[in-house]
Amino acid sequence: MRIELSDTSLMAGLVTLTSVIIVLMISFAEAQGGGLQKDFYSSTCPKTEKIVRSAVEKYFANDSTIAPALLRLHFHDCFVQGCDASVLISGSSAERTAFANLGLRGFEVIDDAKSQLEATCPGIVSCADILALAARDAVDLSDGPRWTVALGRRDGRVSSASDVANLPSPLDPVTVQRQKFAHKGLSDQDLVTLVGGHTIGQTDCAFFRYRLYNFTATGNADPSLSQASLSKFRELCPEDGDPSVRVALDQGSAGKFDASFFRNVKEGNGVLESDQRLWEDAATKDTVAKYAGNVRGLFGLRFDYEFGKAMNKLGAVDVKTGTDGEIRKTCSQFN
């Protein structure tokens, strides 16, 4: 039996197939970050990445601790209102005035890059995209991975200190950390991977000294701390000492972006309570163990690969694209 398709039937079939393909492409694009594109500025401002990189390099050369500051700035931005540069806004009730954001740094790097971009291609590049690129370049300059950043974010028109309560806290148990990350569409593995950014971070004694002397009002130290770390941390942060003294979050290779942070956690040397607790939850412990590694020759390779993927997921959280939001002329002010 021979079946022949008419031209009309064939055309209808092709139209249906094309429609299905388009729907799948749109769904994939939305899953990857709602319209973000790696070549978004290729025709409108082709020097965008070069200009941002140059600004980060300039400040990094004078102070390498600007790298974790920029990474943290991007993270704090994305967790509140999405990745829309709302954290950059100045004002008496803006996000950056919230207690959790009082230690944020790196605003001058973003402002510098923005002023250069406005001189080169005014009104084109968003502050949110500058933040995402600066965070990537900061990690790269710290001997970490380099990943492709999809662009096209627009800047938000809302910045309120009251919204910052959703930020993860160094006091959060894993259950709360998990809830906060899941609310942003991030998995347990993303949680552990992104916390791994602490490998180049620092914190004040004020944020973990309670673990050293009177943990949970017992008069004793946090039992999850190794004895070696307890002695070291007590030297750095005496009970009545300066609470603003800075301590590296990675005691193995401070300032270098690698996986030794996870070995610290595995061995009871995590500085922040929230970091150390990752070793006590079955799901997060498994990821920490994988990143910590057992074979020195393979140490850290998987973390490098996964960190870029997790950063792209973070960078796509609740982004504003198309006609939503605005392109600010000055990153610290709404238009």
pLDDT digit string (tens) for 180-197? 999 999 999 999 999 999
- How many Cβ atoms from other residues are within 10 Å of residue 205's Cβ? 21
Catalytic residue positions, numbered: 76
**Residues annotated in a binding site:** 77, 80, 82, 84, 86, 95, 168, 198-199, 250, 258
Give the residue ranges of the annotated binding site for heme b.
198
The reported pLDDT for the residue numbered 189 is 96
For position 34, what pLDDT does the model report?
A: 57
What per-residue confidence (pLDDT) applies to 117? 98
Whether 7 shows a pLDDT value over 90: the answer reads no
Per-residue pLDDT, 217: 84
Q: What is the mean pLDDT of the chain?
A: 90
Tokens 């009177």, residue located: 214
The three-state DSSP-derived secondary structure of the chain is: CCCCCCHHHHHHHHHHHHHHHHHHHHHHHHHCCCCCECCCCCCCCCCHHHHHHHHHHHHHHHCCCHHHHHHHHHHHHHCCCCCCCHHHCCCCCCHHHCHHHCCCCCHHHHHHHHHHHHHHCCCCCCHHHHHHHHHHHHHHHCCCCCCCCCECCCECCCCCHHHHHHCCCCCCCHHHHHHHHHCCCCCHHHHHHHHHHHHHCEEEHHHCCHHHHCHHHCCCCCCCCCHHHHHHHHHHCCCCCCCCCEEECCCCCCCCCCCHHHHHHHCCCCCCHHHHHHHCCHHHHHHHHHHHCCCHHHCCHHHHHHHHHHHHHHCCCCCCCCCCCECCCCCCCCC
Q: Given this model, what pLDDT does residue 326 score?
A: 98
Q: What is the mean pLDDT of residues 319-334?
A: 97
Q: What is the pTM of this model?
A: 0.87
Which pLDDT value is given to residue 14? 43
Highest mean pLDDT among 15-19, 32-36, 99-103: 99-103
Q: What percent of the chain lies above the pLDDT cut of 70?
A: 87
Average pLDDT over residues 57-80: 97
Q: Which two tokens stand for residue 323?
A: 């006609």
Residues 106-145 pLDDT 10s: 999 999 999 999 999 999 999 999 999 999 999 999 999 9
Binding-site residues for Ca(2+) sit at 77, 80, 82, 84, 86, 95, 199, 250, 258
- Which residue is it, tokens 């380099």? 146
